[in-house]
Structure 1
Amino acid sequence: MAHNLLRRQSLHSVIQQALAVQSPIIIDGAMATELEYRGVDTTSELWSAIALIQAPQSVRDVHEAYFEAGANIAITDTYQANIAAFEKCGISHEKSERLIGTAVSAALEARERYRRHHVNADDAFVNDSFPNYARPLLVAGSVGPYGAFLADGSEYTGDYHLSAAAYRDFHRRRMQILSESGIDLFAFETMSNIGEVQALIGLLSEDFSDREAWVSFSLSDSGHLCDGTSLETAATVADACPQISAIGVNCVQPELVTDAIGHISAVTAKPIIVYPNNGDVYHPDTKTWTSCADALSLSDLAPRWVEAGASLIGGCCRTSPTDIHNLAQAFHQ
């Protein structure tokens, strides 16, 4: 136990650096929703990753819109961007690798454009951890689940099974490209299957020992992953890895979040990250949404989540730069 504690304390965490400057940290919102708003058809099996082929500038513009809205962290458009998915669509291995790099470049360019536009901001930043700007601006490399590659809604059930070695082989090359392209950390997101989570943590420890990641789970209810694993069990698995710098949930209904934070905080002292959907209901069988006009907004709900223990907050499906702006304004006016 003492050895593990020492390792945790020695890890140079960008999340901890950011939280030392600002809390809560604001995560960005949906990518696909904004791409669709800008005219990109995301109905293919590649979902939002199709824009890396058809409209990479739109990906950059969405990232920049979220930075302008007040987001501290941009999540790359690589949730469904992996070598196998691109090759399944007839794209060469070499081009598939380049497209993953394109996703990182789009986020990095958006960050630099934002910094240039605000170089004379009144709130000049003085902390050495994040030079040249008033607040931390990070790029997280999205590592979506194997279930997303299946493109059949499996990330909402967790009902898929590979060996640990097969999970690692599936994720390794994408993670290598993300790391080499300049991300600040990995985002293991919408994780619904505990076996895949364990494999990813093992891959992180063995192949990316100088990198950190957050893990955010997809839930069937406030206390269980979609595959039935208790959230406390899953959070305990994540807590045991010193390279996991935040633990939480995403792509869930907002009403599940407060109780989920309680389950996570019961087993870890690490920062808790939450970025739920906007309250609309998704139907994986038809890949359609039912709008929920009376759902409370992120900015209405977020103070409860902070009180419960969350310190990184954003939005997932169907959220927009306006949602993120209102969220940021609720805490950092």
Structure 2
Amino acid sequence: MTRATGPLAHALARGPVLLDGGLSNRLADQGCDLSGALWTGRVLAERPDQVESAHTAYVRAGAEVLITASYQVGDDPVLLERAVRVADAAARAAGHEVWVAASVGPYGAVLADGSEYRGRYGLDGAELAAFHRPRIEALLAAGPDVLALETVPDTDEAEALLGVLAGTGARAWLSYTVADGRTRAGQPLAEAFALAADAPEVIAVGVNCCDPADVLPALEAAASVTAKPLLAYPNDGSVWDAGTRTWHAPADPVPWPVEAWQAAGARLIGGCCRIGPPWIAGLRTALHRPPPV
């Protein structure tokens, strides 16, 4: 089997679907240079073959959804289209069904200063929508299966993203980055998830790039306001230092209570920064997904 033939939403209705892991850490393990504001986008621009190799490593680990390298690209239509095309190539070469999710990173990602972990950029909703609209249009034109509105730090940006999507017929998931039971900007999570509860474009809501300990409370908050499938792809509990552009790992590994996440409604489960193919292979076993061909 090659690229997925049915909508991701239908697969989520049947059971769990396995996401990939962190693209940046995999590219670093391959010896790629991620310095500069473009981050993984730099490798996409200079060595797209390395990005495809990284995607392929996750496919071989059993990932059923590949998130593109467009998170920090900005509005460059050439790179945005390339990000989808490279992931698509890896998906088509897979021996199992694989969907492509086009990453729509937050405004803070292009600032390359860790702003996505704070939110509150000083922009109003119209300015945020104007930033996201051409990126979303370019990504949709490239034909992904779904948009990944990910690492969203506050409700202002979520509202802007949902406004851009409204009426397009596109499909997307909305994923916040959270801490201590709130968005990174400090808003209540039930309020944040409720924004997407009635949005027909949104097929799932949840969290990513957060401490694994923050996942379950966030999923419970989401389940209290929406019946949509939930998603979770945390990092390993490390904290990003924007000044040194390094991760500070936790003193002790943070457990991943995957069964509890599923019981709370999580159907789309994977990893974010610092989660590599071996971890995704372990998740495949935990989720009882079939082995990759």
**Alignment TM-score > 0.5, same fold:** yes
Is the 2:213–2:254 Cα contact (8 Å) retained in structure 1? Answer: no
Question: Which residue does 1:253 correspond to in 2?
Answer: 211
CA deviation after TM superposition for structure 1 residue 149, in Å: 1.1
| Mapped partners of 1:62, 1:164: distance in 2 | 35
The equivalences for 1:58-73 within 5 A come to 58-73=50-65
Is the 2:154–2:192 Cα contact (8 Å) retained in structure 1? Answer: no
| Mapped partners of 1:229, 1:54: distance in 2 | 39
Q: 12, 15, 18: which one pairs with 2:8?
A: 15
The equivalences for 1:101-120 within 5 A come to 101-114=81-94, 118=95
CA deviation after TM superposition for structure 1 residue 242, in Å: 1.5
Is the 2:189–2:221 Cα contact (8 Å) retained in structure 1? Answer: yes
CA deviation after TM superposition for structure 1 residue 297, in Å: 5.4
> Structure 2 stretches of 5 or more lacking a match?
1-5
Residues 190-249 of structure 1: CA deviation (Å, up to 9, x unaligned): 00021111011011014xx2211100001131x211111111001001112111110000
Q: In structure 2, what residue type is equivalent to 1:284? A: A
| Mapped partners of 2:258, 2:179: distance in 1 | 21
Q: In structure 2, what residue type is equivalent to 1:101? A: E
Question: Which residue does 1:3 correspond to in 2?
Answer: none
TM-score, scaled to structure 1? 0.82
* 2:268 counterpart of 1:312: yes
* 2:102 counterpart of 1:100: no
Is the 1:214–1:244 Cα contact (8 Å) retained in structure 2? Answer: yes
Is the 2:153–2:184 Cα contact (8 Å) retained in structure 1? Answer: yes
* 2:123 counterpart of 1:167: no
Question: Which residue does 1:271 correspond to in 2?
Answer: 229
Percent identity over the alignment is 39
Q: 67, 77, 81: which one pairs with 1:75?
A: 67
**Paired residue total:** 284
Residues 267-290 of structure 1: CA deviation (Å, up to 9, x unaligned): 111000010001223223432222
Question: Which residue does 1:302 correspond to in 2?
Answer: 258
Q: In structure 1, what residue type is equivalent to 2:99? A: L
Question: Which residue does 2:40 correspond to in 1?
Answer: 48
**4+ aligned runs moved over 4 Å, structure 1:** none
Q: In structure 1, what residue type is equivalent to 2:124? A: S
* 2:141 counterpart of 1:188: no
The equivalences for 1:77-226 within 5 A come to 77-83=69-75, 96-114=76-94, 118=95, 133=96, 136-206=97-167, 209-221=168-180, 223-226=181-184
CA deviation after TM superposition for structure 1 residue 261, in Å: 0.9
TM-score, scaled to structure 2? 0.92
> Structure 1 stretches of 5 or more lacking a match?
1-12, 84-95, 119-132
Q: 19, 23, 47: which one pairs with 1:31?
A: 23
Is the 1:188–1:216 Cα contact (8 Å) retained in structure 2? Answer: yes
| Mapped partners of 2:64, 2:255: distance in 1 | 19
Is the 1:278–1:297 Cα contact (8 Å) retained in structure 2? Answer: no
Q: In structure 1, what residue type is equivalent to 2:112? A: A
Question: Which residue does 1:127 correspond to in 2?
Answer: none
| Mapped partners of 1:70, 1:184: distance in 2 | 18
Question: Which residue does 1:237 correspond to in 2?
Answer: 195
| Mapped partners of 1:65, 1:74: distance in 2 | 11
| Mapped partners of 1:246, 1:167: distance in 2 | 22
Q: Mark the structure with the bigger radius of gyration.
A: 1
CA deviation after TM superposition for structure 1 residue 293, in Å: 5.8
Q: In structure 2, what residue type is equivalent to 1:57? A: D
Question: Which residue does 2:3 correspond to in 1?
Answer: none
| Mapped partners of 2:23, 2:276: distance in 1 | 8
Is the 1:15–1:246 Cα contact (8 Å) retained in structure 2? Answer: no
CA deviation after TM superposition for structure 1 residue 60, in Å: 0.7
| Mapped partners of 1:274, 1:322: distance in 2 | 18
